[in-house]
Amino acid sequence: MFLKNLQLHQFKNHKESQFTFNEKVSCFVGDNGAGKTNILDAIHYLSQTKSYFNHIDSQNIQFTTDYFMLKGVFEKGGKQSEIQCNHKEQEGKSVQKNKKKYKRFSEHIGQFPIVIISPTDTNLILEGSEVRRKYLDSSIAQYKQSYLQVLIQYNKALKQRNALLNQFNDKGYFDAITLGIYDKQLLEHGNTIHKERTKFLEELTPVFNKYYSEISGGNERVGLVYKSQLNDTDFGSLLDESKQKDRVSNYTQVGTHKDDIIFTMNNLPIKKIGSQGQQKSFLIALKLAQFDFIKEQIGFKPILLLDDIFDKLDDKRILKLISFVDKNVFGQVFITDTHADRSKEILTKAKISFSIFNINNGIIKNERE
């Protein structure tokens, strides 16, 4: 699978940009703020129907305009698919495949899978559990579309149950039968979510450990610990035991919406003891393991986006990462960099076929093979 071409119209700082890509490596170079990362984000939009960096669609419209349009042609298994994503103020977002509009965006997820490595990935370590749950869910949804539907149904039941708890409190009554309807839905979908997250992390961990060892060269032991209330206790029992607390707080306090992943180094949280270099190696290994796992599940290579990696990584880690490209571990790769000469030197030394696009405030100045 690869992206053949891409068009951006009034997307962030790109008034009108068009690209034609090779099947291997494309590198976007330019100063900070030139619009390089916005191109990666456009590719992410066409894969995932949303931005990686800003989930408020209206904020991705170019200033002084009222809509954006993204269009790309993917080739997979010898067949071409044109994907178009539009967002217009007052009308909202639409996504089309071969000019046919999706009824639900979730139908598109997993068709053209993607993995991104970005400086913002540090949020996976530094921020709260919701960020790590989203990493889990977006990974699984790219190879198992039915999981996304289960997740949507779980969140719908959770929202309705919380609204009912608030209603009990506001009107001073309690209806165990109605609450039980939502409990049943949470049980059904929550147990499926827990099972899939457990399976994913169990199978991801050895691949992650392999990549971490190769990238870091260190002897420290790293791990991914799945923290869930459902690990040791039946979900139904948890809901029963928490019912009174839920009524007091007007909130469902148990379930997979409370899950987390603990990133460890030598059995301690890497957030507390890991150096910046160790944390970078950890996150790169995590994303490469995600890439490998999705590839094994779907039978072809996802697209890989590498945002600003040459600035943020030391030479040792850069060479190791590029060596994976050279070994044909990856398929199509998109890279952003602030220095054209550096990118060309690194990729030429690795004897990798590449194209370079010079970007200046959303304008493509030239292209060089």
As a whole number of angstroms, the distance between CA 224 and CA 203 comes to 11
CA atoms within 13 A on the CB side of 328: 2
As a whole number of angstroms, the distance between CA 163 and CA 251 comes to 8
As a whole number of angstroms, the distance between CA 28 and CA 343 comes to 9
- What's the chain's length in residues? 369
At 328 the pLDDT is: 78
pLDDT by residue, tens only, the chain of 369 residues: 999 999 999 999 999 999 999 999 999 999 999 999 999 999 999 999 999 999 899 999 999 999 999 999 999 999 999 999 999 998 999 999 999 999 999 999 999 999 999 999 999 999 999 999 999 999 999 999 999 999 999 999 999 999 999 999 999 899 999 999 999 999 999 999 999 999 999 999 999 999 999 988 878 999 999 999 999 999 999 999 999 999 999 999 999 999 999 999 999 999 999 998 899 999 999 999 999 999 999 999 999 999 998 877 788 788 888 888 877 789 999 999 998 898 898 888 888 889 999 998 767 765 544
Question: What Rg, from alpha-carbon coordinates, does the chain have?
Answer: 22
Cβ–Cβ < 8 Å for 74, 1: yes
Give the residue among 299, 321, 302, 300 at the shortest CA–CA distance from 310: 321
Q: What domains appear along the chain, each with residue ranges and CATH number?
A: 1-113+302-369 (3.40.50.300), 126-298 (1.20.1050.90)
Which residues, other chains included, contact 200 with Cβ-Cβ below 8 Å and sequence gap of 6+? 136, 139, 140, 293
Structure tokens of 74?
A: 């993917």
Give the residue among 322, 209, 215, 224 at the shortest CA–CA distance from 278: 215
As a whole number of angstroms, the distance between CA 334 and CA 349 comes to 18
Q: Which helix (H) or strand (E) holds 13?
A: none
As a whole number of angstroms, the distance between CA 143 and CA 129 comes to 22
Structure tokens of 14?
A: 């790109």
Cβ–Cβ < 8 Å for 258, 246: no
As a whole number of angstroms, the distance between CA 74 and CA 113 comes to 11
As a whole number of angstroms, the distance between CA 177 and CA 183 comes to 10
As a whole number of angstroms, the distance between CA 344 and CA 234 comes to 56
Question: Does this model's pTM top 0.85?
Answer: yes
One-letter identity of residue 297: Q
Count the neighbouring beta carbons within 10 Å of the beta carbon of residue 151: 22
